[in-house]
């Protein structure tokens, strides 16, 4: 995954070689919430740093949640957001878990559309490329007593983006999280909160230093059940017992410790469309490793908004490396990704109604004072 710092450049240069979110666009959409006024003061602004009091609650107690969604160029030259309402609902769920204000989906959708419209010139158009939107909501009240904030700010940022592991979609390698815990049931693992990512960084850095792209997180009690990667869900492609189907897909269930990925949900739906049986089922790491060795596990892939769908070619645990599917991308992984990308780019009919068009001619209108 690209680790380049974000800088500014002109939109044409960023579109030519965006990398993963290396360049910010010209604008941000900003909206505030206070216990007195609810959601108010919405504005589309030039991109700018924010200043804050060192006593601001987010800096101390970590009330910070975010989303990651993309807009894609369509064949008629317009832009469309992929499943923005699902991202809006997830942001609200994350906020609720951290005792933060829940943003109405209408406000979220309007802000995303305004930003994409304003920064349309930054949207790259090659397959797999998009404009990555990062709505970030933080506590902005200055107060050191331990309590939830009475003020929040949500800033919608935009970045031209290649998939985070690159457009070649070369298989990645993962190292299991022996001994390190990202989340446990009842905690905040399912919330898209900044602290979850902070909790993953040291283990991820150690995995990177050993030459692996990502951490494969196991459950925090038994270190037995596969959960997810640091920013992606995982799927397994098994040789089916039933000859008629050939293969079947599984993915770990959402039991409070993993991200309810929008891409994960899309993959489940697309597998159904493609006639591939798919189940959400607890998956022991031993079954994955022995399956890969015996050939019963034929493919594994990771998915997320940033990564799209990328094969996992190698897993390492305490006993060394295990190669999956010869270390190459398999046919199911490729088919699921192509299907998803064709829908995102408007090439294949959007039968699930996932795309939300952003029309350039529509005025930037939202002046919400939605209260909660």
The residues that touch ligand COI, with contacts defined as CB under 6 A, are 68, 164, 231, 304-306
* Least spacing, CB of residue 262 vs ligand COI, in Å: 9
Which residue's CB is nearer to ligand COI, number 164 or number 278?
164
Q: Cα(154)–Cα(364) distance, rounded to whole angstroms?
A: 18
* Least spacing, CB of residue 307 vs ligand COI, in Å: 6
* Least spacing, CB of residue 337 vs ligand COI, in Å: 14
* Least spacing, CB of residue 305 vs ligand COI, in Å: 4
* Least spacing, CB of residue 77 vs ligand COI, in Å: 25
Q: Cα(296)–Cα(226) distance, rounded to whole angstroms?
A: 17
Q: Are 132 and 306 in contact (CB under 8 A)?
A: yes
Which residue's CB is nearer to ligand COI, number 84 or number 231?
231
Q: Are 249 and 266 in contact (CB under 8 A)?
A: no
Which residue's CB is nearer to ligand COI, number 171 or number 304?
304
Which residue's CB is nearer to ligand COI, number 94 or number 305?
305
Residues 6+ apart with CB under 8 A from 294: none
Which residue's CB is nearer to ligand COI, number 171 or number 231?
231
Token readout for 145 is 């007593």
Which residue's CB is nearer to ligand COI, number 32 or number 134?
134
* Least spacing, CB of residue 1 vs ligand COI, in Å: 7
Residues 6+ apart with CB under 8 A from 366: 42, 107, 110, 111, 114
Which residue's CB is nearer to ligand COI, number 173 or number 196?
196
* Least spacing, CB of residue 88 vs ligand COI, in Å: 14
Which residue's CB is nearer to ligand COI, number 110 or number 193?
193
CB neighbours (10 Å) of residue 364? Answer: 16
* Least spacing, CB of residue 304 vs ligand COI, in Å: 4
Q: Which residue is nearest to ligand COI (CB)?
A: 68
Which residue's CB is nearer to ligand COI, number 306 or number 332?
306
* Least spacing, CB of residue 306 vs ligand COI, in Å: 3
Q: Residue holding tokens 């039933």? A: 242
* Least spacing, CB of residue 347 vs ligand COI, in Å: 22
Which residue's CB is nearer to ligand COI, number 233 or number 333?
233
């Amino acid at each position: 995954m690209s680790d380049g710092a974000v800088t500014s450049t002109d939109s044409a240069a960023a579109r030519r070689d965006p990398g993963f979110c290396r360049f910010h666009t010209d604008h941000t959409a900003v909206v505030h919430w206070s216990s007195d006024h609810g959601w108010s003061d919405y504005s589309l602004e030039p991109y700018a740093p924010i200043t804050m009091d060192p006593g601001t609650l987010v800096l101390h107690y970590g009330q910070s949640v975010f989303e990651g969604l993309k807009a894609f160029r369509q064949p008629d030259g317009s832009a469309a957001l992929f499943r923005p309402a699902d991202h809006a609902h997830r942001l609200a769920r994350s906020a609720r878990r951290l005792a933060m204000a829940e943003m109405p989906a209408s406000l979220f959708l309007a802000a995303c559309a305004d930003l994409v419209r304003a920064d349309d010139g930054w949207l790259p158009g090659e397959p797999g490329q998009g404009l990555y939107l990062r709505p970030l909501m933080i506590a902005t009240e200055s107060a050191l007593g331990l309590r939830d904030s009475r003020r929040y700010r949500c800033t919608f940022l935009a970045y031209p983006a290649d998939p985070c592991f690159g457009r070649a979609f070369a298989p990645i390698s993962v190292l299991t999280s022996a001994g390190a815990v990202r989340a446990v049931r009842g905690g905040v693992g399912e919330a898209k909160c900044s602290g979850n990512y902070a909790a993953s960084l040291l283990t991820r850095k150690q995995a990177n230093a050993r030459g692996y792209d990502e951490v494969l997180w196991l459950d925090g009690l038994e270190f037995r059940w596969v959960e997810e990667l640091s920013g992606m869900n995982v799927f397994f492609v098994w040789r089916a017992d039933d000859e008629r189907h050939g293969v079947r897909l599984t993915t770990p269930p959402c039991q409070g410790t993993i991200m309810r990925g929008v891409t994960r949900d899309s993959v489940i739906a697309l597998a159904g469309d493609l006639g591939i049986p798919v189940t959400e089922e607890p998956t022991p790491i031993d079954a994955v490793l022995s399956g890969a060795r015996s050939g019963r596990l034929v493919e594994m892939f990771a998915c997320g908004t940033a990564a799209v769908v990328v094969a996992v070619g190698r897993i390492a645990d305490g006993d060394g490396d295990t190669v999956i599917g010869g270390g190459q991308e398999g046919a199911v992984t490729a088919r699921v990704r192509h299907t998803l990308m064709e829908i995102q780019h408007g090439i294949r009919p959007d039968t699930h109604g996932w795309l939300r068009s952003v029309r350039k001619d529509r005025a930037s209108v939202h002046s919400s004072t939605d209260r909660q």
